[in-house]
Structure formats: C-alpha cells, structure tokens
Chain A
C-alpha cells in the first residue's frame, strides 16, 4: 500500500465536493487585478455548494459586517476567484446568488403583503432568471461629458466594503443625535462634522472609480489630478459623472419580483401586478 504523507496534491481531492453549476460573471473577468482570478477558457467559473463551515461563517455578524464572511465563502465556493477582496463589486450579487443556487436550489421564497388587501403571501423567485439578467448586463466603462471622455471602473469589493462601513459609522452618529444628554450646539457640531465626512466619502468613492479622463488627446490618469479636477468641477459635470456611475451600478442591481394578484384579490382592491423588492438577507439567503 502506498502511503501519502507528503505535502503537495491531496490524494483525497477526487472525493471533494463537486461544482454544482458554472456561471458567466457579469464582469466577464475584467477589472480583476492580475492573479486575482483564474479564468477558465470557457469563460464560466465553477460554483460549489457551501459547506456547513461556510454556513457558520455566514452566520457570524462581525464577519458579515467587515466583509470577511463574504470573502471566505466566495473563496470556498468559487475557487476561480483567488482574491475576492479585489473582485469588482458588480460580480458580488451574481456570485452570492450562484452560491445560494448551488447550496439550496434555484427557488427562493419571498414574503410580501398584498397591497390594499394586507394578506401575507409567499412567492417563489427563480434565482436562475435573476442570475441570467445579471450576466447579460454590460458595464459601460467610457462616457462623454462635453469635451471630456471619462473611463470608469466598478469599485472592488474591498473599496465597496470600506465605503459601506464608513457610511454605516457616520449614520450611527446621526442616530446618536437623538440623545437628550447632548446640548443643541454639540448636536449641530456633530451633525456638521458627520455631514462633511459623508460628503468627503461620497467624493472619494466617486473619484476612486474614475480610471482616466481624456481631453484634447491628453490622457490624465494621475489620481491626485483627477481628484482635484472633480473637486473643482462644475455641478453639471459632477452630476453627469454621478448619474453615469449610478446608471452602471443600477444595471447590476437585482430587479424586483413582479407578483400577480389573484382575481379575488383584485376584486378586493389589489392591483393586477405589484413589485416586491428582492433582498438577500439572513432570513432569505439560507433555506
């Protein structure tokens, strides 16, 4: 009998869990740092079901808050993504939905109240349809505003996470302003500080996503110069940039589920169809 005790390839690897599905990432593998993704020739990455260990990390609040749970689970279930922190944020929902399909199947229950009637109902969303929509969306990296041509990129999961945490912290400060132990002057001061921080954060997030600006054949890629330019730009230009970036982000948002009312519900005042937002939280992500 041959004994395997040496480091290297694990002889038991053929008994490891098998991929449940293969998906096209919305980014098609673009925007990753070199070495952060091992893209197969087919362009489709394998997705494995979560193990019990993965499920436990996804139920750890601190790991969820700082993004580590998501990173660990993506590493475990989509091993082609070597460095999930540098994954473009547009791939995030698709990766998590694919993991959800691989683990619990393609149907996901959504609970909602029928408008005007108020009765609770459970619908089943087909996650394959949602995944298909995300994979079809296209991120437009270039747009023009006047004479300027802007090249943008989606934020990485690390940048997205850091920005979400900072926003969350500042929102907590707003919540503290209801505290009666603080004087009105202090409240105003804290509000102004927090508001200023949030504005700076919005600007920083925006400029991080700008790769270059092209004007009169000159290409500006220096982040400091781009930052300065954005801070000193006209409002209309700033709004153009913001709306283009938001439009790109919206393409990769999960569309709401369209529910059909029953004839008796319509008779009771419900609309024929209504939209239910699909949110992936702890109660829906796990079967």
Chain B
C-alpha cells in the first residue's frame, strides 16, 4: 500500500521507498511537475521556521507532529545548531517511521514517539513526552504538510485546538498545508491549478492517507487563538525567504503564529 511518508521520501530523493510509493509519486509528478520543487520548498520552509523559532523567538522545545522519515535537516539538527539545549519530540503514527526516527534521530534531547496526532491526549499525556518537555515553558508545535491528511470529518480544527489548550501562552504554531488556491506557475490559471489539485487528491485516495487541499481561509482557522506573525499565512516560498528560497511560489500555504 503506498504510504505518504515514503512517497514524500521519494520526492525528496530518499531511498526508503518501495515500488508502490514510487508509482504514486511518479503519477503525482506527471500531473503536477512542480511537486518535487514544492516538497523541497516545504523542507526549506521548515528550516526557516525552526531557525526563526529558535533564534528569534527563543523557543527551546518542539513537537514535530507527523514528522515523517528522517532526512537531511531534521528539526533537532536545525534547532540544536543554534541552541544545543533545544529539545525535540518527533511524533508519527507509522511504525516504520518511528523505528527509523528512534534509530537515526533519538539522542539526549530528542525523542521519537509512536502516536497518532488525531489523539492529542495520547501525545500530550505520553510519559516520555512529559519527561522531556516542560509544559510550563513555551513549546513550538510543528504541523508540516500533515494536516492535509486529516479530512474535516476527523475534526482537524478540534485536534489543533486541543494541542493549543495544552500549551502555555507564548507558545508557537507552525503549519504548512497544500492548497489549490495558488497557481504554481506564471502560465497557469487558477482553474488549471484547481483541476491539478483535484487530480492529485484523487491519486492520494490510493494511499494509506487521503489528501485534502484547503483554501487560505480554511488554513487560517487552524491559527485560532494564535497571532499570525508577519507576513501572515502566505505561499511557503514567500515566508521570510532567505537567499536559498525558491522564486516560484505556490502549492503550499505556510505560517507561524504565537499563542495569545
């Protein structure tokens, strides 16, 4: 069964994927050739967001929900390069992902937990998570390219709200989310983009997790109770770009908010 974590690994150039995953990934790329760029841009957005959170916001605790297979530039590597005492919890519901994370990422200040983010209490109440993180100090919650695998009937807004309520004021939320709002190429119309998104969604119905693209307004609602930082919820490529950022915005929305 094709698996989004391994499809993502393949799109990033990783080697931990199987023929079924590659087949779906190649079909996605055939429909939307920019997918590889968008996936790389998403890693770049993660990098910039974690750097900002560590360096400028002074965050020392992270929960990466739906962390996926280890790759280059994992959260603790980015954060600990700036603040060696940064602590990171990786959460994933895929057993293989967690096995890899435990083997390749875990260390004194990092932890990989096998849990489903759709059950926030299982994550928040996990004894090892409670041991590593101090819930009286600000925590950054990372939901990178994961909420679009939670359809509305599973109440993604309620899930994010439950996490929010467990975090102290001054905590942060960073989200990236696929959309069909924004054309990924200058020569593409909004209608073509919407059609492309619909076809990709249909492909993901063949995998272990369906994909739901959302509009800007829909993604913004996840930040309820948070103040979105400049420049707001934007194309990930335009969120505080550095000199390595891609020039071709589109595909995903991204934003970082601070809990009131």
Are A and B physically bound partners? no
B binding-site residues for A, Cβ under 8 Å? none
A binding-site residues for B, Cβ under 8 Å? none
